[in-house]
Amino acid sequence: MIKVPLRILLVEDNEADILITRRSIQKLVEAPLIVVVEDLSSCREKLVNFIPDLVISDYNLPTCTGLDVLELVKEKDPALPLIFLTGTVHDEELAANTILAGASGYILKKHMNKLEEKLKPLLKKVVFNMVAKDEVRERLRKNKIAINQIYDYLDSLKADNKEQRENIGKLKDTIREFNEEKDGDDSKA
């Protein structure tokens, strides 16, 4: 069972599929927080105010398609994973196109009886990526603390002459530039 609490936005209009999906997620995740919407405007609002860790969306919705949902999700947060559930079974090209468009996974509704089994590896991947990002953020935080301590130390040095003061200033500038480059590299991770 996944111990990390997940915030999941479920974009689905079919009550039976909502129940099956909820039940499957609850078997896999210890403390899921699942919010259900069935249209694009509600999805947009939840992406802003609920801030999910994962979006699971039906592909065929009454007022839009799954690609509309995917486009909205990528507009709000390009790194946010989205998994499609769909009853469209005859179009393997559709499945490939959704993955190429940025979906994290694709599960056919004909496999709803095995949804738990199909969701498990996808949810584990989401959690793994969340933990990896947390580790990067923690490393960044520790680096910034170290840099701030170096600044404090440099500020505490009593520079006796102009040349020493200039060298301390150059050292601070070099550290600042390195820190800005490092932040840029880590934000790509």
Is 2 a domain residue?
Answer: no
What digits encode the pLDDT tens for the residues 158-187?
Answer: 666 777 778 777 888 887 777 677 656 554
Mean pLDDT of 124-138: 81
The verdict on 52 and 115 lying in the same domain is: yes
Q: What is the pTM of this model?
A: 0.71
Q: Are 18 and 12 within 8 A, CB to CB?
A: yes
Is 15 a domain residue?
Answer: yes
Q: Give the H or E element holding residue 108.
A: strand 105-108
Residue 104 DSSP label: S
pLDDT band at 138 (very low <50, low <70, confident <90, very high): confident
The verdict on 113 and 183 lying in the same domain is: no
Query: What separation in angstroms does the CA of 54 have from each of 25, 28, 32, 92?
Result: 12, 14, 11, 23
pLDDT at 92: 66
What digits encode the pLDDT tens for the residues 98-120?
Answer: 777 778 888 878 778 888 898 99
Q: Are 57 and 30 within 8 A, CB to CB?
A: no
The torsion angles phi and psi of 149, rounded to 5 degrees, stand at -65, -40
pLDDT at 114: 86
Which residues span the domain enclosing 97?
7-132
The number of beta carbons lying within 10 Å of the beta carbon of residue 52 is 22
**Cα 181 to chain centroid, rounded:** 23
DSSP SS3 for 51: coil
The verdict on 171 and 121 lying in the same domain is: no
Is 25 a domain residue?
Answer: yes
The verdict on 99 and 177 lying in the same domain is: no
The total of structural domains in the chain comes to 2
Tell me the two tokens of residue 177: 């530039």
The verdict on 97 and 148 lying in the same domain is: no
- Residue matched to tokens 């009886």: 113
Among 132, 160, 177, residue at a domain's last position: 132
The verdict on 94 and 177 lying in the same domain is: no
- Residue matched to tokens 């007022």: 63
The verdict on 116 and 163 lying in the same domain is: no
